[in-house]
Amino acid sequence: MWEKGISAYVGMGHSLERIQRYLELAKTYGYTRLFTSVQIPEADAAGLVNDFRKFAAQAVKLGYSITADICPQACAMLGTNLSDFSALKKLGVAAIRLDDGFSPEQIAALSVTSGLDIEINASAITPSILQQICTAKADVSRLRACHNYYPRPETGLSFSLFSERGQLLRDYKIPVLALIPSRSCPRGPIFAGLPTLEKHRLVSPQLAAKELLASQLVDGIIFGDPLAAEAELASVASLDLSHIELQVIVEADTSAVERKILFAAHTNRIDPGEWVIRSQEARRLCQAAIPARTGRPRKIGAITIDNQDYLRYMGEMQVLRSPMPADPRVNVVAHIIPEELFLLDYIKPGGSFRLKEFIAHEA
Please report the pLDDT score of residue 38 as a whole number.
73
Task: Give residue 297's domain range.
Answer: 245-357
Domain membership of residue 96 (yes or no) is: yes
CATH number at residue 236: 3.20.20.70
Are 122 and 165 members of one domain?
Answer: yes
Please report the pLDDT score of residue 363 as a whole number.
43
Whether the CB-CB separation of 19 and 55 falls below 8 Å is answered with: yes
Q: Which of 222, 240, 258 is the last residue of a domain?
A: 240
Whole-angstrom Cα distance, residue 71 to residue 24? 28
Are 315 and 353 members of one domain?
Answer: yes
Are 86 and 195 members of one domain?
Answer: yes
- b/e burial code for range 43-68 (CB count within 10 A of at least 16 → b): beeeebeebbbebbebbbeeebbbbb
Going from the first residue of the chain to its last (363 residues), give the mean pLDDT of each consecutive group of 10, the final group possibly shorter: 94 90 98 87 68 92 94 70 82 89 92 96 96 97 97 98 98 98 94 97 97 97 97 97 97 97 98 97 96 95 98 98 97 98 98 94 52
